[in-house]
Structure 1
Amino acid sequence: MKASVLILTPEAFSHMAPDRWVSDRRITIPELLQFEADVVLIDEVDAVQKRLDGAFSPLSQIMGDERDVFAPFVGRQTSEALRKRSGAQFRNPVNTRWQSNFFNFFRLVGVMYGLLKSEEEA
């Protein structure tokens, strides 16, 4: 039986990309392993889990009153860019689609917060 062994830190595992001779696609090591490996073992995963969670799902507030919260910040930046360019960039359908999708995201996050809040109060 033959086995290839790969030893990495959690951060390297999370962020490294394979060499070009391994894959010509722009993917990360975890993405590559899902196609190439039969088994991935992470020793002492309980000690590493917090670091992997930080890499793959960083905590970031999506909605709120502070100026640097994601959705309101992106909304303000977008509105400012629109104001400066007087909307001319909407001739590009990609920009129009992005703007529409972002505002749908913003609305859906608001709906989710509302549902969670009513569950909390019930």
Structure 2
Amino acid sequence: MSAVTGPAENPGAHPVEEGIARLWADALGRQPPSFDADFFDVGGTSLALVRFLGGVQDTYGVELPMDQLFTGGFSVSYAAAAVEELLLAGVDPNELDTLVAELDSLSDDEIRVLLAEES
């Protein structure tokens, strides 16, 4: 199955939501009609769910519990929140404070250079 480009329009979406929407679309072969649409209500199957979960693990390095997705009204928004929660659970608050302080000390030009290097 070829990748589906572009998630549903959601102007307030943040990067994790956008990434989850792309994985959701790749797993189902179509874009989510909205970020709150239920995966199974729009044709999601257990096989598509396994593809989605594999994409989440490859992209974000976290493992979403399958049972959580069956009971939580599985949508892009729900999955993105679950991924963010798992990502933050592994962050040391002291390390985060240090990183924020380092970022605060950078000029706008230095930040642009760092972002360009990441692209």
| TM-score interval (norm. to shorter) | under 0.3
Report which structure shows greater RCO (CA 8 Å, sep ≥6).
2
TM-score normalised by L of structure 1: 0.26
TM-score normalised by L of structure 2: 0.26
